[in-house]
Amino acid sequence: RKKAGEGCSLPESSWEERLANAVTPLWRLPYQEQLQVKYESQRKILQTLASHLEELGIEAQKHGGLCCPLQPVIPSPIINGYRNKSTFSVNRGPDGNPKTVGLYVGTGRARNIVCVKANHVENIPPKHKQVAQCYEEFISRSPLDSCILFHEGGHWRELVVRTTSCGHTMAIIIFHPQELGQEALATQKALLKEFFTCGPGAVCALTSLYFQESTMTRCSHEQSPYQLLHGEPHIFEELLGLKFRISPDAFFQVNTAGAEILYQVVGELCQANRDTVLLDICCGTGTIGLSLARRVSKVIGVEVIEKAIEDAKWNAAFNGISNCKFHSGKAEVVLPQLLASWEDVQPLVAVVNPSRAGLHYRVVRAIRNCRSIRRLLYISCKPEGEAMRNFLELCCPPDPGKKLAGEPFAPMLAIPFDMFPHTVHCELVLLFTR
């Protein structure tokens, strides 16, 4: 395997180079240097947290100006082509082709967006690039236009590709119906199915082909159902000896090999035993809770995406795990009710893995006000963003005005994981105790 930055040659200032710089800004650096860049960025985040805690009058344990010890970045086992999910856009390419399938360079605000094919982008696997190329071939033959701006008409929009280490491939075609009737829609679905099963797209060997009629930037399954055109309704992944079912919109860590290491370390940090109840908040398809289920007495999972909870329940049953209960709904609504029934029952360990938007304030409040939670693991892909607000809410002194009555948490250890080689992003696990 080539090291990052070795043997990479793109024409200077070409569109390919501009896309690589936008999507994978560290692609030129040898991998060890990438890890060092990420370590420094995580260090700055912990320095910022330490100074915010001081402003709140909290004496943070000083560790070289940090709020807690920071371990070296744990590297990804796979450096190139590690993504198991890619989202491709349809827009004008550098040559003016309005049906280019690729990734964006530029911004909507500056009105300089160009869609560039992603064939050279190092974190996307060849299978994803192959499906994108076939989708472009299909829409180039179609008399229907691409949907570049909703209000200007057009139909062909995004393509989502998901793959697993089991060799499964799911493609999801996002389509704006505009004024098309059911008969015209049925024709397009039939053409897509034919292309990917009998036509040139058959080379992709899709396990699942989905179609979604979407009039918004992003639609959930509840807002606009994913329609299975061909193949199996789910794809399957294996992780830490367990088998997981994945629906079209279910969350699953984008780097499967990296996720295995992440979950193993999370298991160690939980210090859970047979008396422990594990709260898996924002649990997705249940990967974290299920991977730790055999160490604890009970797992309680909460997730807003209903289909992901269906997957989590299936995953538990398929893997013969009977001590997990998964709840569908907004964590800020479900969690306070759940915790009320667990107050003072047994030791609780919480693991939270929210989206970039962080945890809702009521979720933090429910965690703070539950005395049984002594240990909390916060997994964040953007700790410098909204997660920072959560860290301060967890650690600030009790505040009756904000209904924060519980004893504050304190940061004890930070471990960064490189789940996203070639990019500036890092997954940070912060251990809080009280």
User: Residue 110: pLDDT above 70?
Assistant: no
Ranking 172-181, 394-403, 406-415 by mean pLDDT, the lowest is: 394-403
DSSP secondary structure string for all residues of 92-158: --TT--TTEEEEEES-TTTT--EEE--TT-TTS-HHHHHHHHHHHHHHHH-SSPB-SSGGG---EEE
Give the chain's length. Answer: 434
Question: 113 pairs with which residues across the strands?
Answer: none
- Residues 249-261 have a mean pLDDT of 92
Best mean pLDDT range from 21-35, 347-361, 392-406: 21-35
Q: Would residue 212 count as lying in a domain?
A: yes
- Predicted confidence at residue 16, as pLDDT, reads 93
Neighbours of 295 (CB within 10 A): 16
Out of 198, 233, 268, a domain closes at 233
- Residues 270-277 have a mean pLDDT of 88
- Predicted confidence at residue 150, as pLDDT, reads 82
* Residue in 72, 74, 123, 30 with CA at minimum distance from that of residue 259: 74
Name the pairing type of β-strands 348-352 and 277-281: parallel
Quick one: how far is CA 27 from the chain centroid?
Answer: 21
DSSP secondary structure string for all residues of 174-223: EE--TT--HHHHHHHHHHHHHHHHTSGGGGG--SEEEEEE-SSSS--TTT
Q: What is the distance between the alpha carbons of residues 60 and 50, in angstroms, rounded to a whole number?
A: 6
Residue 416 near residue 42, CB atoms below 8 Å: yes
- Predicted confidence at residue 426, as pLDDT, reads 93
- Residues 368-374 have a mean pLDDT of 86
Q: What is the distance between the alpha carbons of residues 49 and 414, in angstroms, rounded to a whole number?
A: 12
- Asked if 276 and 417 sit in the same domain, the reply is yes
Q: What is the distance between the alpha carbons of residues 361 and 368, in angstroms, rounded to a whole number?
A: 11
Residues 166-220: tens digit of each pLDDT: 999 999 999 999 999 999 999 999 999 999 999 999 999 999 999 999 887 777 7
Q: What is the CATH number of the domain that holds 421?
A: 3.40.50.150
- Asked if 121 and 229 sit in the same domain, the reply is yes
- Asked if 346 and 198 sit in the same domain, the reply is no
Number of domains composing the chain: 2
- Asked if 228 and 283 sit in the same domain, the reply is no
More confident residue, 59 or 30: 30
Confidence of residue 7 (pLDDT cuts 50, 70, 90): very low
User: Residue 299: pLDDT above 90?
Assistant: yes
Q: Does 182 belong to an annotated binding site?
A: no
Q: What is the distance between the alpha carbons of residues 396 and 410, in angstroms, rounded to a whole number?
A: 9
- Asked if 397 and 265 sit in the same domain, the reply is yes
Q: Would residue 143 count as lying in a domain?
A: yes
User: Residue 2: pLDDT above 50?
Assistant: no
Out of 233, 263, 293, a domain closes at 233
Q: Would residue 76 count as lying in a domain?
A: no
**386 phi and psi, to 5 degrees?**
-65, -25
Residues 120-179: tens digit of each pLDDT: 999 999 999 999 999 999 999 999 999 988 888 899 999 999 999 999 999 999 999 999
Q: Would residue 117 count as lying in a domain?
A: yes
- Asked if 168 and 298 sit in the same domain, the reply is no
Q: Would residue 37 count as lying in a domain?
A: no
Q: Does 353 belong to an annotated binding site?
A: yes
Q: Would residue 190 count as lying in a domain?
A: yes
User: Residue 389: pLDDT above 80?
Assistant: yes
Range of the domain at 97: 85-233
- Asked if 422 and 285 sit in the same domain, the reply is yes
- Asked if 89 and 222 sit in the same domain, the reply is yes
Collapsing DSSP states into helix, strand and coil, what is residue 402? helix
How big is the chain by its Cα radius of gyration, in Å?
23
- Asked if 287 and 211 sit in the same domain, the reply is no
Q: Would residue 341 count as lying in a domain?
A: yes
- Asked if 291 and 419 sit in the same domain, the reply is yes
Q: What is the distance between the alpha carbons of residues 84 and 87, in angstroms, rounded to a whole number?
A: 11
- Asked if 96 and 227 sit in the same domain, the reply is yes
- Asked if 283 and 424 sit in the same domain, the reply is yes
Q: Does 306 belong to an annotated binding site?
A: no
- Predicted confidence at residue 282, as pLDDT, reads 87
Q: What is the CATH number of the domain that holds 106?
A: 2.40.50.1070
- Predicted confidence at residue 1, as pLDDT, reads 39
Ranking 68-77, 127-136, 252-261, 270-279 by mean pLDDT, the lowest is: 270-279
Ranking 99-108, 246-255, 330-339 by mean pLDDT, the lowest is: 330-339
3-state secondary structure 126-145: HHHHHHHHHHHHHHHHCCCC
Question: Which 8-state DSSP code applies to residue 56?
Answer: T
Residues 16-39: tens digit of each pLDDT: 999 999 999 999 999 999 999 999
Out of 199, 233, 267, a domain closes at 233
Q: Would residue 405 count as lying in a domain?
A: yes
pTM for the model stands at: 0.89
Residue 416 near residue 71, CB atoms below 8 Å: yes
Residue 194 near residue 184, CB atoms below 8 Å: no
Residues noted as catalytic? 381
Question: E strand or H helix at 341, and its extent?
Answer: helix 331-342
Q: What is the distance between the alpha carbons of residues 239 and 284, in angstroms, rounded to a whole number?
A: 14
